[in-house]
Amino acid sequence: MSRIITIARRTIVQNLRDTGNALGQMLIFPILLIFILGNALAPMYDVGNVDPTVVGYLNEDSGPMGRLADEFMNMPEVKDLLDVRPVDSVTQGNNLLQDMDITALIHIPGDYSTKVIAGQEAEIAITVLPGRTFRGALVETVMESFICGSNATQAMLAMGNPQPEYRPAHGTIEDQPFSVSGLMPDAMDYYAVTMLVMIVMYGTMYGAYGMAANNLYPVGRRVKASPVRPGEQYIGTTIGNVATIFVSSLVIIAFSHFAYGVNWGDNLFLILLITFLHVILAVGLGSMAIAVMRDEKRASVLINLLVIAWTFLAGGYFKITLPSAFSWIQYFSPSFLVQTALFNTIYGGPFSQTLLMLAAMIGIILLSGIIGIAAERRSGQ
């Protein structure tokens, strides 16, 4: 037992002395990334109000439909949604698009009214900047509600109504607003969780390095030559690394809470328990990678790639929505298990699911532990 403690203590001291290297990476990196991601990608997680979308508006139609369109653009409901900048020509509109001064250009062609009156198909063209999925859909929806009136009028005329009257049915929706504050993560909350999970996952490196130092380097061999029982060295190193990473996680949780106001929920104990298990899981996986591959460089390349893949699958960089037929793939990412457990705990998700995730994590830990110790025995002989 005292030998385990000796080895654990040595591991912790080594990790601490290494400040500026690995430990700095374990703390500064996530704290920086939480800040950048939390701010840069805030719109993706924002439940707040949407500002009016800035659109260029080119109306070349001087007929009745053109006038109607002008009126429509001036409706208060529309003004809430669109910030309309009239333009004089397609070229001017395109220039504004290119400089990103407007998000979309609405173009009503000169022959619009003529075509409508002749009963031909008439089209309003919208040009949207690439990548503006949300804003693009919004502009389209608004313009569809404009042509809705025209189509309705035409349908009524066709039905034999000589004086069709169309009015949008304002007030037909009875709304019950519902507050979600505290029920949903904003970007900062979201990335605090996923970056914590990612950085603990990178803790596999510690596990790998510890295992490599024990088995592949002269110093480790020397320890083996001392009266240390097989397994003791492995357990001692693991305890030291687990302690190091767990304390870094605590720092990240505390810092993100106090500096960025991240919501970690009411059940801090469960959050810490999940994180603790996750740390053990990461260190165990790292050790296992070395035990199986017996080459630190290769193992660290593999781990690096795996952590990227797992983080991505878990939606750690940004939320991903897989088609439901493929959503099982996410369960292959340990990061996903941990993230699900954490989000459930913070935002009141089903506890049964949290338990399931914890059980899966314990399973992975046991498996990697068994393989790690077996490999240690084998190399010890």
Partner 1 sequence: MTVFKYALKRLLRNKLNLFTIFLLTPLFIALTFSMGNFDRNGVNVGWVDLDGTPLTGMLRDAIADSSPVHELEEEEIRISLARSKVDYVLVADAGFSEELIGGGAPKLRSYSIQETNIANQVILKVEGFLGAAQGIAETAGGDEDAFYAGMNSFLQGNFTVSTGLYSTNGRSVEAALSGLGQLAMAMMFLSTFTAINLIKERENRTFYRVMASPCSLRNYMLQNVLVFFSVLLCQVGVMFLSVRYIFNMYLGPAVLKLFLVMAVFALLCVAMGIALATAARSVRQASTISSLVITPISMLSGLLWPRWIMPDFLQTIGRYLPPTWAIEAAHKVMLGKPLRSVSLELSILLGFIAVFFLLGTWRRADVAK
Nearest approach, Cβ of 118 to partner 1 (angstroms)?
A: 10
Please give the Cα distance from 112 to 164 (Å, whole number).
20
Nearest approach, Cβ of 306 to partner 1 (angstroms)?
A: 10
Binding test (CB under 8 A) with partner 1, winner from 37, 68, 211, 361: 37
| Structure tokens given for 33 | 């990334």
Binding test (CB under 8 A) with partner 1, winner from 7, 142, 201, 212: 142
CA quadruple 146, 149, 152, 154: dihedral positive or negative? negative
Residue 21 binds partner 1 (CB under 8 A): yes
Residue 301 binds partner 1 (CB under 8 A): yes
Per DSSP, the three-state class of 270 is: helix
Nearest approach, Cβ of 43 to partner 1 (angstroms)?
A: 5
Residue 114 binds partner 1 (CB under 8 A): no
Residue 165 binds partner 1 (CB under 8 A): yes
Nearest approach, Cβ of 229 to partner 1 (angstroms)?
A: 32
Q: What is the dihedral of CA 20, 191, 350, 277, to 10 degrees?
A: -10
Nearest approach, Cβ of 88 to partner 1 (angstroms)?
A: 18
Residue 155 binds partner 1 (CB under 8 A): yes
| Structure tokens given for 174 | 């009875």
Please give the Cα distance from 8 to 233 (Å, whole number).
9
Binding test (CB under 8 A) with partner 1, winner from 5, 158, 355, 370: 158
Residue 174: other Cβ atoms inside 10 A: 5
Binding test (CB under 8 A) with partner 1, winner from 9, 85, 132, 294: 132
What is the residue type of 142?
V
Nearest approach, Cβ of 326 to partner 1 (angstroms)?
A: 12
Number of residues that bind partner 1 (CB under 8 A): 106
Please give the Cα distance from 93 to 50 (Å, whole number).
23
* Radius of gyration, alpha carbons of the chain: 30
**199/365 with CB nearer partner 1:** 199
Going by C-alpha positions, the residue among 254, 250, 273, 243 that lies closest to residue 355 is 273
**76/227 with CB nearer partner 1:** 76
**177/218 with CB nearer partner 1:** 177
Residue 164 binds partner 1 (CB under 8 A): yes
DSSP state of 266: S
Residue 95 binds partner 1 (CB under 8 A): no
Buried b (16+ CB within 10 A) or exposed e, 235-247: bbbbbbbbbbbbb
Residue 40 binds partner 1 (CB under 8 A): yes
Compute φ and ψ for 302, nearest 5 degrees: -60, -45
Residue 371: other Cβ atoms inside 10 A: 17
Binding test (CB under 8 A) with partner 1, winner from 60, 70, 111, 140: 140
| Structure tokens given for 119 | 């009963």
Residue 76 binds partner 1 (CB under 8 A): no
Q: Which stretch binds partner 1 (CB under 8 A): 130-138, 244-252, 332-340, 355-363?
A: 130-138
Residue 292 binds partner 1 (CB under 8 A): no
CA angle 17, 19, 20 (to 5 degrees): 145
Binding test (CB under 8 A) with partner 1, winner from 167, 218, 225, 381: 167
Residue 260 binds partner 1 (CB under 8 A): no
Nearest approach, Cβ of 315 to partner 1 (angstroms)?
A: 10
Please give the Cα distance from 326 to 321 (Å, whole number).
10
Nearest approach, Cβ of 289 to partner 1 (angstroms)?
A: 15
Going by C-alpha positions, the residue among 204, 214, 228 that lies closest to residue 376 is 214
Going by C-alpha positions, the residue among 275, 270, 265, 244 that lies closest to residue 337 is 275
Residues of this chain, 171-190, that bind partner 1 according to CB under 8 A: 172-181, 183-184
Residues of this chain, 307-366, that bind partner 1 according to CB under 8 A: 308-309, 312, 317-318, 320, 347, 349
Q: How far apart are the first and last CA of the chain?
A: 22
Binding test (CB under 8 A) with partner 1, winner from 8, 81, 200, 212: 81
